[in-house]
């Protein structure tokens, strides 16, 4: 493969399990890969299910100078976290989502534009998420006062079969009213119907005047396939499931093996 065989003008990367390792480390090789893109005038940005301020710790090392998306596209912000646009779930859809999760006995987290609400601060994955995003949740058993500012709802369970079932139920019952997809085997994310990673591609297309056909996207989870489907090129991480890999143009090494950097080096710059 020769350098720049493909017309790639922007690279959009998922964060957890893609840009960073399992321990949330941004490796020196990943930083160098981003620097190499910029040196060739290829824009770089990120998208994640995290809230925007939960990605702030990555920005200095990446020297990000493009808009980026939190909440799987629910909030698009400038590098200084200035809001560009937010896509909120209608209150009635949020209430229906919470009812479905409760019926499946899956605890729900609720994210507003400014807060993270949980029913139990000692519940599964809360401590890990707090360590990841670097801010604490507010514990409450009543989400009613936040229903007019819902950016994302996350169902949380370590029962993988239950999560597959509840994700399918949410997709079927919410239909066009919301986007529902597994972002990890133990997380199902529910957002505004246009707030998904495919929508992030189209928003960047509009904001930056770069066609989706000239974008390369990287990810590792089922919700990342939504951006694979609409971008010109895509790379799945080595630890992704076969369904995710089959949806991508190429497959790289795992996030634990510097797969992000290796993917950029090989498929953008032609280095074997």
State the total domains in the chain.
2
Backbone angles phi, psi at 13, to 5 degrees: -115, 135
Q: Answer whether residue 2 is part of any domain.
A: no
Q: Name the residue among 74, 51, 62, 22 with its Cα closest to residue 238.
A: 22
Which of 148, 169, 191 terminates a domain? The answer is 191
Mean predicted lDDT score pLDDT of the chain: 95
Is residue 3 over pLDDT 80? no
Domain that holds residue 111: 91-191
Residues 177 and 202 in one domain: no
Stretch 43-66: mean pLDDT, rounded? 96
Q: Write out pLDDT tens, residues 158-199.
A: 999 999 999 999 999 999 999 998 888 999 999 999 999 999
Residues 71 and 203 in one domain: yes
Is residue 89 over pLDDT 50? yes
Which of 131, 162, 191 terminates a domain? The answer is 191
Q: Answer whether residue 112 is part of any domain.
A: yes
Q: Answer whether residue 249 is part of any domain.
A: yes
Residues 200 and 182 in one domain: no
Q: Answer whether residue 3 is part of any domain.
A: no
Share of the chain above pLDDT 70, in %: 98
Stretch 75-81: mean pLDDT, rounded? 96
Is residue 272 over pLDDT 90? no
Confidence grade of residue 1 (pLDDT, cut at 50, 70, 90)? very low
pLDDT for the residue numbered 2: 41
Q: Write out pLDDT tens, residues 213-257.
A: 999 999 999 999 999 999 999 999 999 999 999 999 999 999 999
Cα–Cα dist 190/259, whole Å: 28
Residues 55 and 183 in one domain: no
pLDDT for the residue numbered 4: 57
Which of 191, 214, 249 terminates a domain? The answer is 191
For 235, the enclosing helix (H) or strand (E) is strand 233-236
Q: Name the residue among 223, 247, 226 with its Cα closest to residue 235.
A: 247
Residues 153 and 96 in one domain: yes
Q: Answer whether residue 98 is part of any domain.
A: yes
């Amino acid at each position: 493969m020769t350098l720049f065989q493909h017309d790639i003008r922007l690279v959009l990367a998922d964060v957890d399990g893609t840009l960073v390792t399992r321990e949330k480390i941004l490796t020196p090789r990943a930083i160098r890969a981003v620097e190499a893109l910029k040196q060739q005038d290829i824009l770089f940005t990120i998208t994640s299910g995290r809230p925007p301020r939960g990605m702030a710790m990555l920005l200095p090392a990446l020297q990000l100078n493009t808009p980026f998306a939190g909440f799987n596209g629910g909030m698009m912000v400038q590098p200084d976290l200035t809001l560009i646009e937010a896509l909120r779930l209608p209150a009635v859809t949020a209430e229906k989502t919470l009812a479905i999760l409760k019926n499946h006995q899956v605890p729900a987290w609720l994210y507003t534009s400014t807060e993270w609400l949980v029913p139990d601060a000692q519940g599964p994955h809360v401590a890990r998420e707090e360590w990841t995003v670097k801010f604490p949740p507010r514990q409450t058993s009543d989400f009613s006062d936040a229903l007019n500012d819902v950016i994302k709802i996350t169902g949380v369970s370590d029962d993988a079969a239950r999560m597959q079932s509840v994700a399918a139920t949410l997709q079927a019952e919410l239909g066009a009213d919301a986007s529902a997809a597994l972002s990890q085997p133990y997380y199902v994310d529910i957002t505004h119907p246009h707030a998904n990673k495919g929508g992030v591609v189209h928003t960047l297309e509009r904001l930056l005047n770069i066609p989706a056909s000239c974008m390369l996207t990287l990810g590792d989870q089922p919700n990342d396939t939504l951006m694979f489907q609409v971008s010109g090129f895509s790379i799945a991480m080595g630890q992704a499931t076969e369904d995710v890999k089959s949806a991508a143009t190429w497959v790289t090494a795992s996030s634990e093996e510097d797969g992000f950097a290796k993917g950029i080096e090989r498929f953008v710059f032609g280095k074997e």
